[in-house]
A and B are shown apart, each in its own frame.
Chain A
Amino acid sequence: MKLKHVLTVFKKEVKDLIRDRRTIMSSILLPMILIPLLNIVMGGGIQKFEKDINENVSIALSQTSDTPEINGLVTERILAKNGNIVLVDADDPSKALENDEIRCILDFEDGYVQKLKDGKPVTITLQYDESKTKSRTAADIVSSAIDEFESEIVRERLAAKGIDLDIMNPFEIQLQNVAPNQKGNNMMLEMMLPLMISMLVAVGGIPAATDLVAGEKEHNTFEPLLTTMPDRGSLLLGKYFAVTLFSFVSVAAILAGLVFGYLLNPNSLTMGVDSQVYGYEIDPLAAVLALIITIALGMTFSGIQIALSTIAKSYKEAQTYLSFLMLGSMVPAYATMFMQASDLSPVMFTLPILNTIAAFKMILGGNIIYSNLFIALVASVVFVALTLWFAASIFKKEKVLFRS
């Protein structure tokens, strides 16, 4: 194997790929624009949805409760302090709930005035539709409003009996955040960033890998290449590094897109769900290790991608194999999506893909255990070696190379 040959193949492949509009579109331009756009649109959608859920809680009284007294009681005592709840008139409240015109129906039991006077419990039935998020959330909001009203009545009753109101509060709970400053409340980032990094690294090299071996076979350029002086190891490595480079160019394009999206709308990075991303202080050593682990993951995927592209007889067949690989990489990414840094087990740092996800979650979580990071690093290097060996053995197999 000669470095000169590796470099010759690498330079040619990069030049060739740069000129391929399809690769540039799918590896660079599309993710660069699409991902931040998706985040902004999704973030905007989520924010709008949250706002709508909390701010436009329309309720109606049941037909039996729709009296001026109850109307007045609800408006003055329950809704007065909850401007987000609106009492609307509905001729047929059940139909209105079904048609999403209102979110809940309030029903007061008969004789509620007397029962209130007598200090007996009054049953208020809150009808809502469990299958609808907005109705379900509205039921919680209205319940809280009724709870407040209930506390008010209890306070009035106690005051009338001359009892100190403190009897109602045997405990006073004070919440104190002990998390260090750098551990912001960026759960969304902890969820999304490792998932995105691992998946993007997995898919970034696919267009290049497909083109560089299966594409060559399809265009009849592969056999002439095999008759040139370099040995197969040099040809493979040149192609392998080109695929790896493109998987990172793709990730870099997406990250650039995310930064651009963040500059346009800071909430886009966390899809508008969490607090903004700020105050992170990541140790430089941890950042460097995370970067190396990510590069190693990219190289691992490149090895598998090149091997699958070599096995494929045609471009289409390679795309099919590689789409399976993409789906396979999604399993660990999504399985650990809701896992937080505190949930990570040491075994995760030894498993492919999971080790990269775990390393990122741990770093973003703030409690960095360096021994685990080093385990992840060593595991990554082993995976790179294994997949490269696999690719090399496939690339040398005559049965695979000359399949027809």
Chain B
Amino acid sequence: MKVNGVSHPAPTDPRRLLSDHLRHDLGLTGTHVGCEHGVCGCCTVLLDGAPVRSCLMLAVQAERHEVTTIEGLARDQAPLHPVQQAFHECHGLQCGFCTPGFVMSVVGLLAQHPSPSAQEIEEGIAGNLCRCTGYASIRRSVLRAAALSSPLVGKRRDGAE
């Protein structure tokens, strides 16, 4: 399996969840685990460019696929990805626990709808729970991310670098 462009050997325990594999076997702890039943969205990662719940996949299922985690959006020291930058500018995060999941979902949303309508934003971020912000600043972040992304949409369509 390829994670953030790096190949890794297949996990050995078939019941290991992808979320646990990323966090505890590969040390990519930016992917968070909030409910392990697919409701909260904290564990969202990109699988071949599309956002999915990593707590609802077995790690072995990611074999032969490309996984992008929050750590893969912008390299260390490199400028933030437009979605990350927008969340910063719009105070789209407080405790930061749900944030990686939201960012990955929004990357997927903007790939699908580069200039999302209000309803597309609502439904695009519904599926991720946030307990801190009340979502208002996240809506603003999505709009800002769309604006920041517009010249980059083609390049970033798969969400990865």
A and B: interacting chains: no
**Which residues of A are at the interface with B, using a C-beta cutoff of 8 A?**
none
